[in-house]
Amino acid sequence: MIKPHGSETLNPLFVYDVKQHHELQKEAEGLPSLLLNSAAAANAVMLGAGYFNPLTGYMNVADAMSVAKKLHTTSGLFWPVPIFNRTDDISAIKNAKRIALRDPNSEGNPVMAIQNIDAIEEISAEQLKAMTENIFTTSDAEHPGATTFSNLGKYAISGPIQVLNFSYFQQDFPDTFRTAVEIRNEIAERGWNKVVAFQTRNPMHRAHEELCRMAHETLKTDGILVHMLLGKLKPGDIPAPVRDAAIRKMVEVYFPPNTVMVTGYGFDMLYAGPREAVLHATFRQNAGCTHFVVGRDHAGVGDYYGAFDSQKIFEERVPPGALLIEIFRADHTAYSKKLNKVVMMRDVPDHSKEDFVILSGTKVRKMLSEGKDLPPEFSRPEVAKILMEYYQSQVAK
C-alpha cells in the first residue's frame, strides 16, 4: 500500500490505549482549558484521525508563515496550509504548559484533546494579511474562507496534542465517518492496491457519478473512495446527512458491489481552491489512496480562482516527489445530448453549450423546492427524490 505522507507508517494522534486514554481524561479535569473555535477543533479531528500525518500538533507562527508562502515548514516538510490553534482570549491559559482543549461543536464542550504548549504567539496584522492572501489569493471580506481564517484569533498556540475524541462525527455519522487508519485497514481487507479518491461537499449527480467511473476505468484502479466532507460549509449548502443519504443511494443502485467505499471525514471547508486541492491530495495519500480526482474549480468559491488553478498548482508549486499520490485531472463533465452519455467537455470540441444538459444550482434548488423532477440525464431519480424531500421540508418551515 502507498506510504503515508512524511513517514514510513501512519501516526494518528488519537490515544487508542484504553488505560492511557482514561488517565488523560482524568488529568484533563484538572488542567486549564481552552474552548476551541470550529477550525481548530476540525484540525484536532484530522490530526487524531491520521489525516494530517506526520504533523504532531498545531503549528507555530514561523511554520505557518513558511507554509503559507513556500508550502513547507521551517524544517522542510511539504505542507499546503497552516494547521493552527488560534484564539483571541488567552487569559485562562497564559502561564500554562499543558491544557485541555474543549469542543465548541458538542453539547457540554467535552475535552477533545490535551495540548503541550510550546509557545503562545501574537500574530501581527501584517502576518495575518500575508498568510490569508497566500492561502486564498485574496483577503476580500466576501470570500468565506478568507474571512473565517482572518477572524480565528490573534494568538497562535503551538505544540503537540493527544486526541481523546472525534467531536460529533462518530455519533452523528456512525456509518460514514472514518479515520485514515480505518480507511487503510478497509482498503487492505478488500484486497485493493490502486484506489482513486473523489472529494465531495455536494450530493453527486450524474456527472459526478460518471467522473468517478471514468477515473476508475482510465486508471484501472481496484476501487473508488468517495470521501465526503462532514464538517461546516457555507450557508445554503446541503447538510451532510442529506448528502450522505443521496450518495449512498447512488452507489447502492448504480455501482457494482466492492467497487466503492462511501466514507466521510470531519473537517470544515476552507474554500481555498488550489491550496485546498493539495491538502485534499495529501490527506488522501494518508488514507491509502494512490490517485485523486482534481476537477474544474476544485474547492473553489465564486470567481476567485481560475477554472484549472487547482490542477496547475500540482505542476507549478508541488515539488517532484513531495507527494506520492497521483492526480487525475478532470474537466467539467455533463450529459451530451448528441452522444447520449456523460462526457468531459474537453473531449467533445465539436459541442456547443446547447448540446449539454446543464442546470445551475439555483435552477436545481428551485425545481426541487417546487416538486419538479430533475432531468434523468442530470440526476438519478433516486437521488433527486432524496434532495426533493429535503428542499420541500425547507419550504414548509
Q: Which residues are catalytic?
A: 201-202
**b or e along 263-277 (b: 16 or more beta carbons within 10 Å of the residue's beta carbon)?**
bbbbbbbbbbbbbbb
Q: How many CB atoms lie within 10 A of CB 123?
A: 18
List, in sequence order, every residue forming a beta bridge with 58; answer none if it has no partner.
159
In this structure, the strands spanning 155-163 and 57-58 are: antiparallel
The upper half-sphere exposure of residue 102, i.e. CA atoms within 13 Å in the direction of its Cβ, equals 14
Longest dimension (CA), the chain: 69
Residue at 13: amino acid letter:
L
**What angle is formed at CA 129 by the lines to CA 301 and CA 275, rounded to 5 degrees?**
40
List, in sequence order, every residue forming a beta bridge with 357; answer none if it has no partner.
335
Picking from 154, 211, 146, 166, the residue whose alpha carbon sits closest to that of residue 44 is 166
Q: Rounded to an integer, what distance in angstroms lies between the CA atom of residue 117 and that of residue 86?
A: 12
Residue with cell 504548559: 97
Q: How far is CA 178 from CA 181, 192, 278, in A?
A: 8, 17, 20
In this structure, the strands spanning 98-102 and 33-35 are: parallel
Residue with cell 468531459: 344
